[in-house]
Structure 1
Amino acid sequence: MSHSILRCCTAVLVVGATAAVPIAASAAGFAVTHQGARGAGHAFAGGAALAEDASTIFFNPAGMTRLEGREFVISLHGNDVRMDFTKDSATDAIGQPLSGGEGGRIGQLSFIPNAYYHQQINDQLHFGVGLSVPFGSRTKYDSDSIFRYQALESDLGIINLAPSIAYKVNDVVSLGLGLNIHYMEISTLSNALDFGAICFAQVDPTTCSAQGLSPQSADGRVELSGDGMGYGFTAGALFDWGETRLGVNYRSSVDHDLSGKARFSDVPTLFSTQGLFIDDRITSEFESPDALSLSIAHQVSDQITLFGDYTRMGWQSFDELRVEFDNPNQPDSVEPINFQSQDRYSIGLDYRRSDAWTFRAGIAYDESAARDRFNRPPRTPDNDRTWLALGATWQTSESSEWDFAYVHVMLGDDTPFDRTGGQGDRIVGSYEAAANILSAQYRYRF
């Protein structure tokens, strides 16, 4: 087999392991909307105008001017994603039926923490810092499923440290600014490699079969891991007319420079002797989407407050995933993603039952970042989703509060999928998915 031919097919196949990052079923793409339990109770309606605890550092730092003294907020969200796939057809590179099941339990249970600290400097100036997970998720397909050549296990997350300031210009206008310091970690992105299909595509079936290489009969595995840093900003404004508040917030995109390792296993001698599919150092870049939010909060009475929010995320920045290898024998791997910008709409209300108890509810509609069934990688089988949310605040003392929330997220009953992987395998079918998210939060003012 010629060296140039092997270089060509390496570029096609290694990309299967790097074919995008996994779904976070609570939000489009793999964004994580859950950044506080209080807001979760009304589906984060009014996020940039809410400004009722220190989690406003994430949604709109200008909202800190509505807080007094010092406070600390910590929350935890348990996200249980249920995802199933129903196959219509599945074939390998030469049109044979793919062996294996439909993926098993694809969605995974994950826990999302947030923590925020706010301190009032004087009547006009406020400082805060937030620690959050704005992006990340986990998915896992059975190792012998029909998806094995496109995706096996995916586990990643981005941690954001956000020092922020807010300035009260006058009784109506407040401004806020924050620095976003991202640490991105890809714990694993893995898939199987069909070395038989590689050989059939680049040599000839007779020669390959004589060496025991035929599609689905000589599988290997590749696993990628890596991490890196990135920096961005948040800028917001809050307009407070007493009974009505309007919030505007912008979070910039963040460029992440990633480095890590590629590990290969069960590589046939035919390939390893050519210096291909060997353990190697890798580099990549990822640009997280920017986001613009416009929110409103209106107090109808002493007991009822209404909220609304519109958020647009610029997922169009994620058009491909490119991985470079230190090994000169392995060219760049490029996987087209072709995400699109998406919109999110939400409305909700608070009902203040007493000084101790406030109840809330909300609904949201979150558009998909995936363009269509052909641009829906199995690590990100995204679709439009609907949120139904309930929550409550329990004020136990003047300084302490507990918030609780439950959110049920429904993806479309039929999420069509028609994807040809880098190794020539094609899978056609549909996903069904839902998520149940429980949130708890403690707030302490001092």
Structure 2
Amino acid sequence: MIQSAFTLKTTVRSLKMIGLMGAMLSSGSVFASGYHFGTQSASNQGVANSGAAEVMDASTIFYNPAGMSRLEGTQVSGVLNVIMPDGEFTNTKTTTALGKATGGSNGGNFGVTTAVPHAYLTHQINDQLHVGVGMFVPFGSHTDYDAGWVGRYQTLESQIKTLNLNPSISYKFNDTVSVGAGVSVQYIDGLLSKALDLGTATRNPALSGNPAYDGKSEVTGDDIGYGFNLGALFNINEATRVGVAYRSAIKHKLKGDLKFTVPAQLQATAIGASLKDTAATLDVETPESFSINAFHQLNQEWALTADYTWTGHSRFDEIRIKATGRTDSVTVTNWSDTSRYSIGATYTPNQTWSLRFGLAYDQSPESNAAERIASIPDSDRIWYALGGRYNFDQNNSIDLAAIYVQLKDSNIDRKPLHPSEAAAGNISGNYSVSSITLGMQYNHRF
């Protein structure tokens, strides 16, 4: 039936971000694997996210709340990241549901340049107890292909935005062991859209893939979910620290609307009658993560950092949209859990300047062309990071950082893996993706 043929293809993406600065900003893509945003501070960005055990500033709330035990007085950090992705698709043999070559462009640069803020505040109550709060973007992704691209029946635009409010507390048992914990209140907002091959639905082979007979479906929704995070920091000696941190999965049930656009020549037909706007829901569970990291002061000028982070991306095995009066629309994803390995170095020639360098290898949860999704065309990546801090005085500093992320060239050969995907046809082609992320951060101690 037409109803099942045109249920939507789905992908998680879109999150309304209400930044601390009071702006609504879109989340960027093509930085960290899956739909992780990738960085929550410019200071740690400079060492490719390997510096959690160093405890550079109040952004430790995100990386390891136990790190607050090393911060004196009251401290604030405000961060702005700008992500500039470059994503290109090259078609090889994309076809409609009838096996006819789908006409259209390669989709242009589907990455979206985005600016995203984060902010943190910590306060020392006494020598043992610290409290703090962070507001940051843990997940975010945005792809936007040209309207007439060859893969339009699988995706046009896909966006995920999140905003996480994270009150936290830390307790220092002694000079060796500190622990921390936090609660997360996470807002998520998503948008998915794709073209509908209504020419094929007419059962006239000559109209299959004809742009004049394309419709469109768009799903939007949002939700608030709750989670927690834990951390511990161990001072091995004066020069060496090791930290561990865990951030829980968060369950969401996005509620919103499914809306259709139908070309004028089909609005009075049975096809048009079957495509009526309705309410829709989408279950999303953002993944848990576990990190272990280390810091070692080699000498007065040089320090080394390292981090390993595991992420439970396998929770994302399908995207299932439930719409009132329609059969479920299911996109099979079958993502795998991932690991990220990062190392960094900090050079501090004097009390005014610090220079940072970092390198990371980040695994992709998408492992093969048959299950890759065009809305999140992911692959293994390498991060090259450079950053620095300038101390105006002992209470004020600024961090600047840049990361170049190069994804391994990949291909896609996505055929329907569920009956509800049948009308989307097949996408076959190659992806070349990279991005540059700039970070700026201001730190103040009261």
Answer yes or no: same fold by TM over 0.5: yes
Match of 1:13 in 2: 6
Match of 1:324 in 2: 322
- Residue 261 of structure 1 aligns to a residue whose secondary structure is strand
Task: Confirm whether residue 363 of structure 1 aligns to residue 363 of structure 2.
Answer: no
The structural deviation recorded for 1:196 is 2.2
The structural deviation recorded for 1:91 is 1.5
Match of 2:269 in 1: 270
Within 5 Å, give how 1:143-182 maps onto structure 2. Answer: 143-182=147-186
Residue identity matched to 2:161:
G
Query: Could you tell me how far apart the structure 1 residues matched to 2:272 and 2:387 are?
Result: 60
Task: Confirm whether residue 259 of structure 1 aligns to residue 255 of structure 2.
Answer: yes
The structural deviation recorded for 1:310 is 0.3
The structural deviation recorded for 1:12 is 4.0
Match of 2:33 among 28, 31, 40: 28
Residue deviations 1:348-376 (CA, integer Å, cap 9, x gap)? 01000110000010100000011211111
- Residue 373 of structure 1 aligns to a residue whose secondary structure is coil
Residue deviations 1:192-215 (CA, integer Å, cap 9, x gap)? 101122343xxxx4xx87xxx644
Match of 1:65 among 60, 66, 69: 69
The structural deviation recorded for 1:277 is 1.5
Residue identity matched to 1:150:
Q
The structural deviation recorded for 1:392 is 0.4
- Residue 8 of structure 2 aligns to a residue whose secondary structure is helix
For the Cα contact (< 8 Å) 2:197–2:424, is it kept in 1?
A: no
Within 5 Å, give how 1:381-420 maps onto structure 2. Answer: 381-412=377-408, 414-420=409-415
Within 5 Å, give how 1:127-142 maps onto structure 2. Answer: 127-142=131-146
Match of 1:303 in 2: 301
For the Cα contact (< 8 Å) 1:159–1:184, is it kept in 2?
A: yes
Residue identity matched to 2:44:
G
Query: Could you tell me how far apart the structure 2 residues matched to 1:306 and 1:215 are?
Result: 56
- Residue 375 of structure 1 aligns to a residue whose secondary structure is coil
Residue identity matched to 2:229:
T
- Residue 106 of structure 1 aligns to a residue whose secondary structure is coil
Residues 170, 195 of structure 1: alpha-carbon distance in 2 compared, 3 angstrom cutoff: same
- Residue 96 of structure 1 aligns to a residue whose secondary structure is coil
The structural deviation recorded for 1:424 is 4.4
For the Cα contact (< 8 Å) 1:50–1:56, is it kept in 2?
A: no
The structural deviation recorded for 1:11 is 3.0
Query: Could you tell me how far apart the structure 2 residues matched to 1:124 and 1:24 are?
Result: 39
Query: Could you tell me how far apart the structure 1 residues matched to 2:51 and 2:443 are?
Result: 19
Counting matched residue pairs gives 423
The structural deviation recorded for 1:272 is 5.4
Residue identity matched to 1:271:
A
For the Cα contact (< 8 Å) 2:307–2:341, is it kept in 1?
A: yes
Residue deviations 1:94-125 (CA, integer Å, cap 9, x gap)? 22211101111111101121100000011100
Match of 1:290 in 2: 288
For the Cα contact (< 8 Å) 2:153–2:424, is it kept in 1?
A: no
Match of 2:119 among 115, 135, 147: 115
Residues 271, 397 of structure 1: alpha-carbon distance in 2 compared, 3 angstrom cutoff: farther
Residue deviations 1:127-158 (CA, integer Å, cap 9, x gap)? 00000000012111110110111111122201
Task: Confirm whether residue 196 of structure 1 aligns to residue 192 of structure 2.
Answer: no
Query: Could you tell me how far apart the structure 1 residues matched to 2:269 and 2:37 are?
Result: 44
Query: Could you tell me how far apart the structure 2 residues matched to 1:386 and 1:378 are?
Result: 21
Scaled by the length of structure 2, the TM-score of the pair is 0.92
For the Cα contact (< 8 Å) 1:110–1:137, is it kept in 2?
A: no
Query: Could you tell me how far apart the structure 1 residues matched to 2:71 and 2:333 are?
Result: 42
Query: Could you tell me how far apart the structure 2 residues matched to 1:351 and 1:271 are?
Result: 69
Structure 1: runs of 5 or more not aligned: none
Residue identity matched to 1:28:
S
- Residue 14 of structure 1 aligns to a residue whose secondary structure is coil
Within 5 Å, give how 1:226-245 maps onto structure 2. Answer: 226-240=221-235, 241-245=237-241
Match of 1:220 among 185, 198, 215: 215
The structural deviation recorded for 1:50 is 2.2
For the Cα contact (< 8 Å) 1:43–1:389, is it kept in 2?
A: yes
Residue identity matched to 1:286:
V
Match of 1:101 in 2: 105
Residues 434, 169 of structure 1: alpha-carbon distance in 2 compared, 3 angstrom cutoff: same
Residue deviations 1:321-364 (CA, integer Å, cap 9, x gap)? 111112x2x11211111111000000001000110000010100
Query: Could you tell me how far apart the structure 2 residues matched to 1:239 and 1:340 are?
Result: 31
Match of 2:313 among 296, 312, 315: 315
- Residue 390 of structure 2 aligns to a residue whose secondary structure is strand
Query: Structure 1 runs of 4+ off > 6 angstroms?
Result: none
For the Cα contact (< 8 Å) 2:262–2:272, is it kept in 1?
A: no
The structural deviation recorded for 1:25 is 1.1
Match of 2:92 among 88, 94, 97: 88
Query: Could you tell me how far apart the structure 2 residues matched to 1:214 and 1:390 are?
Result: 50
Match of 1:378 among 374, 378, 386: 374
Residue deviations 1:251-278 (CA, integer Å, cap 9, x gap)? 000001210011101163333565x221
For the Cα contact (< 8 Å) 1:20–1:377, is it kept in 2?
A: no
For the Cα contact (< 8 Å) 1:11–1:334, is it kept in 2?
A: no
The structural deviation recorded for 1:283 is 1.2
Residue identity matched to 1:425:
G
Residues 72, 424 of structure 1: alpha-carbon distance in 2 compared, 3 angstrom cutoff: closer
- Residue 6 of structure 2 aligns to a residue whose secondary structure is helix
The structural deviation recorded for 1:305 is 0.6
Scaled by the length of structure 1, the TM-score of the pair is 0.92
Residues 14, 300 of structure 1: alpha-carbon distance in 2 compared, 3 angstrom cutoff: same
Moved more, 67-76 or 104-113: 104-113
Match of 1:40 in 2: 45
Structure 2: runs of 5 or more not aligned: 15-27
